[in-house]
Chain A
Amino acid sequence: MKNFLKKLVESAGWARIIIGLFLLLLFIIAPFVQVRLDTSIQDVLVRVGMNGVLVLAMVPMIRSGCGLNFGLPVGIIAGLLGALVAVEMNLTGLTAIFTAILISLPIAVLLGFSYAQIINRVKGSEMMIATYIGFSSVALMCIGWMILPFSHPTMVWGFTGQGLRTTISVADAFQDVISNILSFQIGDFFYFPTGMLIFFGLACYFVHLFFKSKTGIAMTAVGKNPSFARSSSVNIDRMRTLSVIFSTALGAIGIIIYQQSFGFIQLYMGPFFMAFPAIAAVLLGGASLKNATITHVIVGTFLFQGVITMAPSVINSMMQSDLSEIIRIILSNGMIIYALTRKEVYKR
């Protein structure tokens, strides 16, 4: 038993065990402070499905040694464009979703390629540059949203008929169409978003398969030891470019899944801080700057979204005040700082 516990701690890591116990504690306290347990579980599951693919978008770039994808907004912008076009075309249901994804992918590839060109020129400080690429792309698109020729009445400003609104509802277009596949309701307060979780699972499986292919293994090697990869005739810059494109494309798909559950397309400053929760989640899952696996993504998303959903509601009920935003910011940024200072210890 003692050995088993020791092994568990070793393989899971203290951070995850502590957060896991904290999450468990929150679930236990919840009923005592008039927070409904079933609603809480539902919220956590929905949020895991919503954010999962965005967290997954961290994996390719980490594996290829480009660091954390602080430039996630680049992918998100591609996804937003896809979704906007789908709404503009008056599409509904699954057709709308898949059209949105299909349109966003080539945009993501294009944007990802240019993003990668910059990343490959700043080896060693990718993350700092990526942060600025993310921020400045959001700023640039603030102008873009104003002047792009969209005209669907639900999307543009009512008084001028031009320029996109900050928040656009997708209730008529594709809200919950993926979540609702095979979904079920238990009682009045519990809804299980089967389709969205299946989609997340499939995306994870696809990424897993990719990293077992020749290209995927080469990408991992580039991240772990570029000179090793080069001496085995792997083109380092090509692999890094591919990984950035892959991450950007996953970001685009991720935001579309997010929107269909959230019910709104958020433009302008919406994508600005989207990268941080995703980064915090994958780090919390046990990823480091050099290594990230699918397990890290799944565990991290669950723990992070769990804590971030539960902590504010439970603590607010206990303290009779609204601290939710503060707790969220402390948690997500705290996780990032923790992970950046961490070093892996090898035993020999």
Chain B
Amino acid sequence: MKRKEPLLRLDNVGKEFFGNKVLDKVNFSVAEGEIVGLVGENGAGKSTIMNILFGSSVISSTGGYEGKVYLHGSEVSFANPFEALEAGLGMVHQEFSLIPGFTAAENIVLNRETTQYNFMVELFGDRLSDLDREDMILRACKATTRLGINIPPDTLVSDMSVGQKQFTEIAREIENADTKLLLLDEPTAVLTESEARTLMDSLRRLSPQGLGIIFISHRLREIKELCDRVVVLRDGLVISDVPTAETEIEQIAEWMVGRKVGRTAVRKKDISQESVLLNIKDLWVDMPGETLKGLDLDVYEGEILGVGGLAGQGKLALANGLMGIFPARGEVEYNGKPFPLCDTAKAIDGGLALISEDRRGLGLLLDEELHLNIAFTALQSKGLFLKKYLCGLLTQLDFQETIRRANEFIESLNIKCTGPRQRVIELSGGNQQKVCLAKAFVCEPKLLFASEPTRGIDVGAKKMVLDVLRKYNEEYNTTIIMTSSELEELRSICDRIAIVSEGKVAGILPPDAKAKEFGLLMS
């Protein structure tokens, strides 16, 4: 029997961003009426696949992609989302793209409204024809019924609950009779459990109607329950592609996070559990998209503590909250004394330093020279690098000293640049990150926050950055709290790893714990 050509087939799809390979020879297919779950850690390549399928401009503006995409057996390549829509792809994004002041019905049939002729059409063309509201409402109701839910068609989007908004978006995509393949990017992330259940029921109802669905979620239980097949991505590679019936949640979790363990030896350092450097009780941090909701954590002196977890769960807020970048509330003791929150000056005075995850935004003065970037924080908060004139009445930046220190760091961290006077914006990502490290080291911190220190830099620089952090910890006994989305990275240098989920610590594991244990804590 000849196999039927699947609805969608990806053939050796690959993608590079500025020489950084994010997808490599990805092959999978979606049949008609099939629900395929796509899982992977942050940065595994899920969004890139979505962007390629949907013809997002991010792809074409960075040089297109390798390999081929087949829809119904014929090759397609979309230059923009409109072409993708026309070809029958429907996409529901993580963020809602609805018009708040319009009703459900108006949103659902937006730009595909039923129209009626009036005389203005003769003068100005079709765009001025009347709307047939009754028919629009009818069509909207049909779409929502097909989903098996009930949204009154005249509800304003701004009055809807999050769940209703999500359903309205999906209804909009399926109302388009041409939609054959639905791409759902974490549709359940914002929903409550019961809403998520309703959503999954509706999706299950859609698939027998011949609609193919790609479902992205971090909640593995949903994947297991809903999907026919699961495709696991890791570092841009398809790790496995199996029917969900033949696998277990633990197995998926392990595929998702576990690389070949033992690539870097797990370090052993004796950390006395008695000297608590930082004692955090009930910490709330209001960082948009990364809220902490009552985190409790003890940090021991001299350790490297890893903070892991999925994006949006709050792991980044720990460093930003304690450094006073975002408003925070809670009880924190540092060195046995109460620690003031929301006060960056006191935090830096107390020996804290931050390597920010937002390197280009918070971490660097892109426009300025390298040596000034390194010296700035120490200059402002500790008054280093100043020359005094007229008995201290006039202070001036000690230019020679900043250049000298910058040269030291250029050598010790192997920063590739033309010299300490080069502007930071002209450096590559990895070298910019090294400047950030130098900036933190100059302050001689007791407690160093390294947030996503390897984000967006190439493999070689990654290893360098991690080695430097580890060396710094060993030489100066600096306590380091390192946040990373890459679990393997945390496992390679940390003494303990705390997994943050939904704004709280879900659990603390030793670095040599099994990959699936981490996976379970995360989801």
Whether A217 contacts B379 by the Cβ 8 Å rule is: yes
Whether A224 contacts B345 by the Cβ 8 Å rule is: no
Within 8 A of A (CB), among B341-365: 344-345, 347-348, 354, 356, 358, 361-365
Q: Which residues of A contact B356 (CB under 8 A)?
A: 231
Using a Cβ–Cβ cut-off of 8 Å, how many residues does chain A contribute to the interface with B? 23
Q: Which residues of A contact B345 (CB under 8 A)?
A: 233
Within 8 A of B (CB), among A304-348: 346-348
> Which A-chain residue is minimally distant from B347 (CB atoms)?
A233
CB distance from B425 to the nearest CB of A (A): 5
Answer yes or no: B377 CB below 8 A from chain A CBs: yes
Q: Which residues of B contact A213 (CB under 8 A)?
A: 394-397
Report how far A300 CA is from B423 CA in the complex, Å.
24
Answer yes or no: B366 CB below 8 A from chain A CBs: yes
Q: Which residues of B contact A227 (CB under 8 A)?
A: 325, 358, 361-362
Known: A346-B425, A348-B426. A224 touches B394 (CB 8 A): no
Using a Cβ–Cβ cut-off of 8 Å, how many residues does chain B contribute to the interface with A? 32
> Which B-chain residue is minimally distant from A218 (CB atoms)?
B380
Q: Which residues of B contact A232 (CB under 8 A)?
A: 344, 348, 376-377, 380-381
CB distance from A347 to the nearest CB of B (A): 7
Q: Which residues of B contact A229 (CB under 8 A)?
A: 380
Report how far A220 CA is from B375 CA in the complex, Å.
14
Answer yes or no: B372 CB below 8 A from chain A CBs: yes
Answer yes or no: A186 CB below 8 A from chain B CBs: no
Answer yes or no: A125 CB below 8 A from chain B CBs: no
Identify B365's interface contact among A214, A228, A346, CB under 8 A. Answer: A228
Report how far A6 CA is from B323 CA in the complex, Å.
46
Whether A209 contacts B367 by the Cβ 8 Å rule is: no
Whether B348 contacts A214 by the Cβ 8 Å rule is: no
Known: A214-B379, A217-B376. A231 touches B362 (CB 8 A): yes
Identify A224's interface contact among B347, B354, B368, B380, CB under 8 A. Answer: B368
CB distance from B384 to the nearest CB of A (A): 10
Q: Which residues of A contact B323 (CB under 8 A)?
A: 231
Identify A225's interface contact among B344, B348, B365, B380, CB under 8 A. Answer: B365
Whether B381 contacts A233 by the Cβ 8 Å rule is: yes
Report how far A198 CA is from B483 CA in the complex, Å.
56
Answer yes or no: A109 CB below 8 A from chain B CBs: no
Q: Which residues of A contact B336 (CB under 8 A)?
A: none
> Which A-chain residue is minimally distant from B356 (CB atoms)?
A231
Answer yes or no: B419 CB below 8 A from chain A CBs: no
> Which A-chain residue is minimally distant from B375 (CB atoms)?
A217
Q: Which residues of B contact A346 (CB under 8 A)?
A: 423, 425-426
A226-253 to B contact mask, C-beta < 8 Å, 1/0: 0111111110000000000000000000
Identify A209's interface contact among B377, B396, B426, CB under 8 A. Answer: B396
- The interface centre, meaning the residue of A232, A347, A348 with most chain B CB atoms within 10 A of its CB, is A232
Whether B372 contacts A217 by the Cβ 8 Å rule is: yes
Answer yes or no: A7 CB below 8 A from chain B CBs: no
Whether B348 contacts A233 by the Cβ 8 Å rule is: yes
Report how far A213 CA is from B398 CA in the complex, Å.
9
CB distance from B458 to the nearest CB of A (A): 15
Answer yes or no: B506 CB below 8 A from chain A CBs: no
Report how far A233 CA is from B344 CA in the complex, Å.
5
Whether B396 contacts A231 by the Cβ 8 Å rule is: no
CB distance from A122 to the nearest CB of B (A): 22
Identify A228's interface contact among B364, B397, B425, CB under 8 A. Answer: B364
Q: Which residues of B contact A290 (CB under 8 A)?
A: 367
Q: Which residues of B contact A209 (CB under 8 A)?
A: 394, 396
Answer yes or no: B466 CB below 8 A from chain A CBs: no
Answer yes or no: B289 CB below 8 A from chain A CBs: no
Q: Which residues of A contact B383 (CB under 8 A)?
A: 214
Q: Which residues of A contact B426 (CB under 8 A)?
A: 346-348
Q: Which residues of A contact B396 (CB under 8 A)?
A: 209, 212-213
> Which A-chain residue is minimally distant from B382 (CB atoms)?
A233
Q: Which residues of B contact A218 (CB under 8 A)?
A: 380
Answer yes or no: B386 CB below 8 A from chain A CBs: yes
11 A-B pairs with CB atoms under 8 Å apart are A217-B372, A217-B376, A217-B380, A221-B365, A224-B367, A225-B366, A227-B361, A232-B377, A233-B345, A291-B367, A346-B426
By a beta-carbon cutoff of 8 Å, the part of chain B in contact with chain A is: 323, 325, 344-345, 347-348, 354, 356, 358, 361-368, 372, 376-377, 379-381, 383, 386, 394-397, 423, 425-426
Beyond the given pairs A225-B365, A233-B345, 7 more chain A to chain B contacts, judged by CB atoms under 8 angstroms and listed by A's residue number, are A212-B397, A225-B364, A232-B348, A232-B377, A233-B377, A233-B381, A346-B423
- 8 shortest A-B CB distances, which residue pairs? A233-B345, A232-B377, A233-B344, A233-B381, A227-B362, A232-B380, A212-B397, A212-B396
